[in-house]
Structures are given as structure tokens and as C-alpha cells.
Structure 1
Amino acid sequence: MTDMPILTAPFMAMPRIGLGTWPMKGRECRAAVESALSLGYRHIDTAEMYGNEDAVGAGIRASGLPREQVFVTTKIWNDKTNGAAIRRAFDDCLERLAMPHVDLLLIHWPSPQLQLEDALKGLAAIRAEGRARAIGVSNFPPRLLQRAIDAGVQLSCLQVENHLFLDQSALRRICRANDMVVTSYSPLAKGASLDASAIGRVAAKHGATKAQVALAWLLAQDGVAMVPKAASPARQRENLGALDVTLDAEDLAALAALPKDRRFVNPGMAPDWVNG
């Protein structure tokens, strides 16, 4: 397997392929984390809302790896609307993870009640204390992301739905201009759309799976990481195999022609993706 590439941003060095853990819990989640780390993953994504931070922490400890060798992201839910609430919630995150720090702390979703500047100051204070090495946001649309950047707190990452069937070029441009990494969740488009014939042709050409092609398409984008969820060792190994798939210009053109307007994560509390 090709060595894991690393993306850097202020305060952060993130392995490009990580393990997404939603909606795994308990024993399944712990086993998946331990398995992934044994296969070479060094990036684990969790969140307060997932209800699995304890299992993630247990899986990392069971792996036997030193804490500093594993990049851990967690996220604070959108009912915490100011810095003080975020700090209190993050104390509980660290307790569940049984860790002194995380590598990246994100606001999980914006809400209309979010006191953006105060929330960002709260994140910055946590970073200054060394309890989160880097900070960022998740599910922010372009205008709100730019507002967060303009608040003057150095953000390292935006996590957002990003895959072959959704155009996130506007967000990528903002992040690239501001030295931020984009972490892609649902990078396999929930698996629902990978039967497109163009994906199959590219996969056959490279002797790869359709999932590997979808992840390789993301790897071809500058500054983009991904956290596909995979419970089984076989699927975890398959996803890592995307590192050995190099798409050429013909492949990228064929994949670029696929629809780019399919969003699979759009709950009722989501922001206005176009004007937000």
C-alpha cells in the first residue's frame, strides 16, 4: 500500500484517509477502530452526538499505539451556541475519550442561535490550552464559512459532505485561500450512486473497486481528506486501496461529467446551503 499522505494546515497534520465512526457504537465501534489502526489508519473521526467517543477511546487504547500517533477529531453538537457551552461540552468529550487532548475540534452544525464570534473564541481558548491542537467547523455553507474566517480566529479545517455527486468547489476555494483542509464525510455518497457506468469503466480500467475510484477522485483534489465509515476489516482495507489508484485526465473528465447536485445529508436543521 502507498504510504498515507498527510495534509498540513496551521496547528495540524492530518492523514488524508481516516475512519468515520457514525453510526457505530459500543463493541462494534471499538472493534472497528482497533482493526483500522492495525491496518495502518492513523485518523479517527467521532463526535459528541455519535454517542461513541468512549468506544473510540477504548479502541485506540486497545491498539497499543501511542496517543501521539493517532489523529483524533471530535465535534460539538449544535445545541451549544456559545463559547462557554462549547467548553463545558468539550470537557465531557475528553472525559469520554479518556484523553488529555484531541487533534481537531469542530462545531458540528451551525444553528440560527449560534453566537458565531463567541463560539469561535471558545474554540480558540481550548486550542490555546492545548486540549485541542487545531479547531474548525463542519457543515458551514460558503457565506457562513467566510464569516467565520473573517472573525479572525485561525481555523484549520472544514468538514462537509463531499463526494463524486456533489459540487463543493466553492467551499474548496475558500478553504484553499485560507490554508484550511476540507474533510469529506459520506465520501462514498452513501454507496447509493456508485453504480454509474462511468465509475464502473474507470474501476475496470484500473483493476479497482468503484469505492476506490470514488475515493481516488477525492484524493485527486488538493487539500481534501476523507473519513469513510467502514466496520469490517475487508472494507477498511478496500478503502485504503484507493491510495494505489491514480486517475488520469481521461478518468477525471469522465467522472467530472457525472451529476454534481446530489446531497445525501440534509436534515431539517441544515443551513441554507446556497445562501447561508
Structure 2
Amino acid sequence: MSEYFTKNDIYDKNGTLLLSKGQKMTDAIIAKLKSLGSYKPEELINSDDKQRVVLTPISKAFGARMNIRNDRILEQPNKVLSTIIFESKTKPWWIYVNALANYVDWLYTHSIDVAMISLMMAVELGYRDDELLNIGLGAFLHDVGKLLVPKPIIQKPGPLTEIEMVYMRQHCELGMSSLEPFNLPKECTDIILQHHERLDGSGYPKALKGDEICRNARIVMIADAVDAITSGRPYKQPQEMEVAVKILRNDEEKYHQELITLLEKIL
């Protein structure tokens, strides 16, 4: 007998998230949704199809924005990220994934996009399956610490003050400490802690330099920067991919230039 899962996020009439996309349905959940007037059978998918469709809307939007014309480039990253998301639903850190989807409107999509870009680069670098899962999970959770940064700071439509910047720069260590009880692999947690470090030592929180920064974080810092530049935010308009690459090229002392070349090759 087939199991059924939610095709999309399900909200109540007040806009509160009731179930995330991909959630397994049970009789009790269906009964609860019916009592709330939020049950729509057409919003369910068969278990045979769930892996295929769970990330399709995000992938198409991502591919279009990144000018990715060959969908095959997204296939393996999509598969890995889909696996990470579904497996996370049974893990204690799922509460943070749900929170990412509800804290500010762009944070969850940013997490997905950074994971996708990072995985695309890792696939091209020949990462093994276990290595792909580690970098994918670390990239997906890289901004968990922002859940502890006040919303007015994250959503501020202008430059941050010095005090606000202090709060913002704490998110790497806050994310690390939030996930510490779950004993994630070091390959994941190093990403969360180091994705704002820079090769010249100008980053934070530890001002690490060069090889002091792990390879995964060197990949994710590029993915994070590229997605931030090419996405809209309350304080800025999105830029084209070519502009993002040029900005990172001009900051040649901060980013691994061979990895930027790799990203250009993929795109």
C-alpha cells in the first residue's frame, strides 16, 4: 500500500505553517487537517513520486536564475539534497529546518540554493557519496545561527550599524552551538562555523587564513556569496550571475580563484 506525502507546504487560514512539503501523512494528521479545513487530497503525492518532485519547483527557479541551461547538471545535487531533506525529517535538528522556512521569507530558499551550488561544485570535484552528504548538509544548515539574530536586523532595508553587525557576525558561532548536541560530522560543522572566513584573514568569526579554512567551507563561502549577490534582499536588488563572478574575481585575495573558475565552468 502506497504512502502519501504533502506536495507543498500546507498553511492554515492565518498563514501558519502546519506541514512542510514532503511530510508523511497519517490518519491522525489527515483528521487534524480536516478539522482545520486545510485538507486537500490533490495536494498529496504518492511515495513513488516523492523523491522526483520534492525539489522540482526550487530547482527550476534556481536553474533559471543561475542561467543553467542543462538540467542534467542539477540531477545529482538535487538527488543528494532531496535525500538530506527527507532524512532530516527524522532527525532532532529538523526543528531548525522548519524554523528556517518560517523565520524570514528568503532564508530557507537561500539555504537550498547555497546547498545546490555547493553540491554542483563538489560533484565536479569528484566528491564521494558520503562527502556529498556532508557538504550538502553543512551548506543546507549554514545559516541556522541567523534564527537567533533579531528579525529587524536580518530584514533591515539599509546598512547595519556597528552594534547590529556584531549581532549578525555571531550567527556562525550561534549556529555551531545550536547544532553541537546533535553530533554532526566535523565536515558539516566546520562549514557552519567557517563559511564567512576569507582566505586573506579578513573574515569572521576567527579570522582564519588560507588552508586554516577547510575545503568545504571554501566552497560554501563562494556559494553563499554568489547566491547573496544574485538574490533579492530587503536592502538590495538582485544582480546577474556575471556580476557576482566579477565581484568575487575582484576579491581575489578572499576567495579561492580555482573554485570560481570551476563554478564558471559549471554555469
Do these two structures clear the TM 0.5 threshold for a shared fold by scoring above it? no
Answer 1 or 2: higher relative contact order, Cα 8 Å, separation at least 6: 1
Larger radius of gyration: 2
Higher strand proportion: 1
- Normalising by the residue count of structure 2, what TM-score does the alignment of the two structures yield? 0.30
- Normalising by the residue count of structure 1, what TM-score does the alignment of the two structures yield? 0.29
Higher helix proportion: 2
